[in-house]
A = this chain, B = another copy of it.
Amino acid sequence: MEFIDGVKKKDTLDIHDILESGFEGEEIRINGAVHSIRDMGEVAFVILRKAQGLVQCVYEPGVTDFELHKLREESAVEVLGTVKKEERSPHGFEIRLKEIKVLSKPAEPLPVPVSKWKLNTSLETKLALRPVSLRNIRERARFRIQEGIVRGFREYLFCQGFTEIHTPKIVARGAEGGSNVFKLDYFGKRAELGQSPQFYKQAMAGVFDRVFETAPVFRAEKHNTTRHLNEYTSLDFEMAYIDSFEDIMAMETGVLQAIMALLKKDYKKELELLDVILPDVSKIPAVRFDRAKELVSEAYDRKIRNPYDLEPEEELLIGQYFKEKYGSDFVFVTHYPSKKRPFYAMEDPGDPRFTLSFDLLFKGLEVTTGGQRIHDYEMILNKLVKRGMDPADIESYLMIFKYGMPPHGGLGIGLERLTMRLLDEQNVRETALFPRDVTRLEP
């Protein structure tokens, strides 16, 4: 009987193996995709693309046992060669090729020059060719940074006593209501795709006190803007036994501090590739919604048109104001008007026209919505009735209040938006691997 007992060390090395142990002058094996071939006559540079970066290999006729003209870009190869220090190479070494073994070959040359520093193609083309355009080093680096954001979010919350949960995305009713839901037939029943894990994470805050989820959410919004996606990754948490909704903002600030620290530590290479300067998140200003509107109106001589909502332009100006005045890329806008918040938002007991809720703006873009939730059964029933909603429709949600819920609140962070602002991208599609928008369902 054959037994499998775990991962074995291969005889091919990785970039970090070479960086750690040198191997100067030694013969090694390494594999990768042929990212580019530059024939200089005397020699040729064959650049391999690996997960951790590029490796410069030197092809010399007579030395390398291979016919160069048979090598294709985007072939997968395993090479044998000698490691040599070379300061001008990526990672400070190159490999003098002795043998090249071709593991696979493309059928056609690439339709976009992925080995260029900048792709210089339209967003449309990049997205249409996403499965291959992401092979560009800088295109893909964005998603390493995105990985770091999610890791930082999870790792910090684990340390803060949160439990990770997995809640269903096919639901009877969306948490946010309204018309922007995707509907589907579920074995003859009307179902929807979850707009947020709101109801479930609240239920689980009654079970584990503190919970989080990193999962897709779905919004059938017909907006085709640079900041909307119809499916995105939401970083959600919900926490019980809060003293006030400031506890939630404090936790998010801690999350952001942890994310930036992790990026600085483990994603240095990608930050450099994309010239990203990490924002200072040591402290984040918090301003009331109505006060923010006034400040912007005064500072930029702008009339307040709608006292109950922030227009995208107003958000940008609030971002600008707090950058200019306090040097902060982030600002919490608090106490949103009740009529603009969902029924489960806790109203300010001092002034029920406003809620104990907040948005976090990052360079003038909303990247988080959060707040304290109603936890009292009577209070939520009254609110539902006042809004003309039928409690019977969400009975399984209301159950948690009927049988007791601690004071709690939470938030949802839009991962792609946070990544977009961090990387100073102008379109949220740049920071979604395979974006879904009104016209885009493939790839």
**A interface residues, Cβ below 8 angstroms from B:** 1-8, 10, 12, 14, 31, 33, 50-52, 72-76, 78, 103-111, 128-132, 134-135, 140, 143-144, 146-147, 150-151, 158, 160-161, 163-172, 182-187, 189, 191, 193, 199-200, 203-204, 206-210, 215-216, 218, 220, 222, 230-231, 233, 240-241, 243, 246, 249-251, 253-254, 257, 282-287, 326, 332, 375-378, 396-397, 399-407, 415, 433-436, 438-439, 441-443
User: So how many copies of this chain end up in the complex?
Assistant: 2
A151 and B165 in contact (CB under 8 A), knowing A204-B433, A403-B110?
Answer: no
SS of A interface (majority): mixed
Chain B residues positioned under 8 Å from A134 (CB to CB): 203-204, 207
Chain B residues positioned under 8 Å from A405 (CB to CB): 76, 104
10 pairs of residues in contact across A and B, judged by CB atoms under 8 Å: A3-B286, A4-B246, A4-B285, A51-B161, A51-B208, A73-B404, A105-B404, A132-B206, A150-B164, A168-B435
- B200 to A166, Cβ gap below 8 A? no
A170 and B187 in contact (CB under 8 A), knowing A4-B332, A399-B129?
Answer: no
Closest to A233 in B: B166
- A396 to B443, Cβ gap below 8 A? yes
- A5 to B282, Cβ gap below 8 A? yes
Closest to A173 in B: B442
Which of A6, A105, A254 has the most C-beta atoms of chain B within 10 angstroms of its own C-beta?
A6
- A135 to B434, Cβ gap below 8 A? no
CA–CA, A218 and B405, complex, Å:
31
Of the candidates B50, B73, B375, the one whose C-beta lies within 8 Å of that of A104 is B375
- B164 to A147, Cβ gap below 8 A? yes
Chain B residues positioned under 8 Å from A132 (CB to CB): 206, 399-400, 403
Across chains A and B, which 3 residue pairs bring their CB atoms closest together, nearest first? A106-B404, A74-B404, A76-B406
Which of A161, A183, A441 has the most C-beta atoms of chain B within 10 angstroms of its own C-beta?
A441
- A404 to B33, Cβ gap below 8 A? yes
CA–CA, A157 and B207, complex, Å:
29
